[in-house]
Each structure stands twice: as structure tokens, then as C-alpha cells.
Amino acid sequence: MLRFDILQNQWLILALGGGAALVLAVVLSYLGFWRGSGHADATPAGHGRLPWILILVYVATFVFAIAYVLARAVEPPNW
């Protein structure tokens, strides 16, 4: 017999953990914009390179999307 309540709890924990990780990544990526550099001749806040954590999130999302599609193609659901 399948235990759907356990599966539902696993998905809930994964969704909450993933959401918390994304919020942390966004906060880390914008810390540089929120803090001023303190120099008058420096680039204004919001005008500069893309933060490394945001680049990492974009790359990880792209890699996960490709890996997930390939994994589902290899092992399709048994409905």
C-alpha cells in the first residue's frame, strides 16, 4: 500500500527548504546593492556586475531543468 501522506510530507519539506534556500540566495545576491560602497567616485548601487550568487542560482536552475527532463525521459512515470 502506498503511503501518500509520507510522500506529501517529503514534497512539503523539499518545497519549504527550496524556498528558504532561494530567499537566502536572493538576500545574499542583493547585499552588495543594499550596502553602499562609501566612496563618492564608486559606481552607484545597482550598476555593476551580476552578483556571483545570482549567477550560481541561474546556472543551477538551468542544470537542474536539463537533468530533471533527462531523468524523467529515462524513467517515465508508471501511471
| pLDDT for the residue 43 | 56
| Residue 2 clears pLDDT 70, i.e. is over it | no
Q: 61 or 36: which carries more pLDDT confidence?
A: 61
**What's the rounded Cα separation, in Å, for the pair 4 and 2?**
6
**What's the rounded Cα separation, in Å, for the pair 50 and 34?**
14
CA of residue 29 relative to chain centroid, distance? 11
What is the mean predicted confidence (pLDDT) over 60-74?
A: 87
Q: Are 53 and 25 in contact (CB under 8 A)?
A: yes
| 13-17, 23-27, 59-63, range with the lowest pLDDT | 23-27
Q: What is the DSSP letter of 35?
A: S
Q: How many other CB atoms are found less than 10 A from the CB of residue 29?
A: 17
pLDDT, averaged across the chain: 76
